Chain A
């Protein structure tokens, strides 16, 4: 089984990389991009039976820094 973890900066935390991407899109002529937020996707290969709660604990302990980042988990 697999889990896919999405890690994003929380609202209110400045994202200078997202801002640079927004600026670059504007320079390429893509008008109307009003904001860009850049995050991470982490894919985990898991032993069968691993619980979503265990993945949430991985996020809390290592995969996300919850001071500035939020995360969501998709199990499949």
Chain B
């Protein structure tokens, strides 16, 4: 648990929100490319007897989301007290 001032918490939370936006847009981009992109290039390709574009986009976006959320919650997101108890400690 990091000790942070109220102000520092907001700087940190803005970073976290930005990271969330970034991974959301990565997922959207991946979703478009793996779905419509793969369908355009190889409409007949199959994985497990199902259309390749379907498997890559639906399961792919889901797995990618889990991985990216896992990464940002481990690296960008920080644990801190949500109450402002330790406010004065850091000043």
> Do A and B belong to a common assembly?
no
Contact residues of B with A, CB < 8 Å?
A: none
